[in-house]
Amino acid sequence: MWDERYGTQDYAYGTEPNDFLKARFRQIPRGRVLSLAEGEGRNAVFLARHGYRVTAVDTSRVGLDKAYRLAEENGVAIECVQADLAEFDPGENEWDGIISIFCPLPSAIRKSLYARLDKALKPGGVFLLEAYTPAQANNDTGGGKDTDTMQTAATLRQELAALRFVHLQELERPVIEGRYHTGRGRAGGGGKVEERWPHGLRHSLIPLQAQAFRSRGCHRRLPDHPRYRPAAPACV
């Protein structure tokens, strides 16, 4: 399905990065970022343009070939790995950031992958996610109807229990991200701005957004004396 979707000259989700990633990417420490289900490269290329070393994983060869092309056009390098996330090993202490932008995995595969994500991040590494909530299944703005691949704040917190969440929100937002993630388009003409719903799409998107990080842990014990007791927790 994805190879077919990506088998056109244009980019199904556009070439601009996801809005949530764009707003939050600076929280990721400089270094290596793993992008889960990268697709055609818009997010990986954006991060590479901002100095990150990005590894993009996706099952779609066609999508990843376009990701390489987009990177070349932008004068940056990214690494692409064609792999099924059901089998992909994210390693340990590998990544300064892991991003998951609309990565539609069946819950069983997602849980098994998430069980390895906290260790895959370096201590202090940041996880950023935007995903569909089940409420999105009633919309026509992308994400399909399979609620098993969708996520809520509660399931995410449970499945990534080892990470510390600094932002976790289900919301509704307008989205303009290519042909397949567009809730509202604007077409101007003759001084009049007309709202339209491209491709029969008519709603905003109902996503879950999350930012979490792997704790650095406390390895050093301080003497139990007021002088050594920090006002704020020594580590988080």
Ligand X SMILES: C[S@@+](CC[C@H](N)C(=O)[O-])C[C@H]1O[C@@H](n2cnc3c(N)ncnc32)[C@H](O)[C@@H]1O
Does the footprint of ligand X cover residue 136 (CB under 6 A)?
no
Does the footprint of ligand X cover residue 197 (CB under 6 A)?
no
Does the footprint of ligand X cover residue 46 (CB under 6 A)?
no
Among 28, 54, 85, 175, binds ligand X (CB under 6 A): 85
Angle between helices 61-73 and 42-49 in degrees, nearest 10: 30
Q: Fill in the per-residue mask, 87 to 126: x = in contact with ligand X (CB under 6 A), - = not in contact.
A: --------------xxxxx---------------------
33: closest CA among 75, 81, 65? Answer: 81
Among 86, 161, 171, 187, binds ligand X (CB under 6 A): 86
Does the footprint of ligand X cover residue 23 (CB under 6 A)?
no
Burial letters 187-223, b for 16+ CB under 10 A, else e: eeeeeeeeeeeeeebebbbbbbbbbbbbeeeeeeeee
Distances (CA, A) of 190 to 95, 106, 228: 50, 47, 69
**Binding residues for ligand X, how many (CB under 6 A)?**
20
**Residues making contact with ligand X (CB under 6 A):** 2, 13, 18, 37-39, 42-43, 58-60, 63, 84-86, 101-105
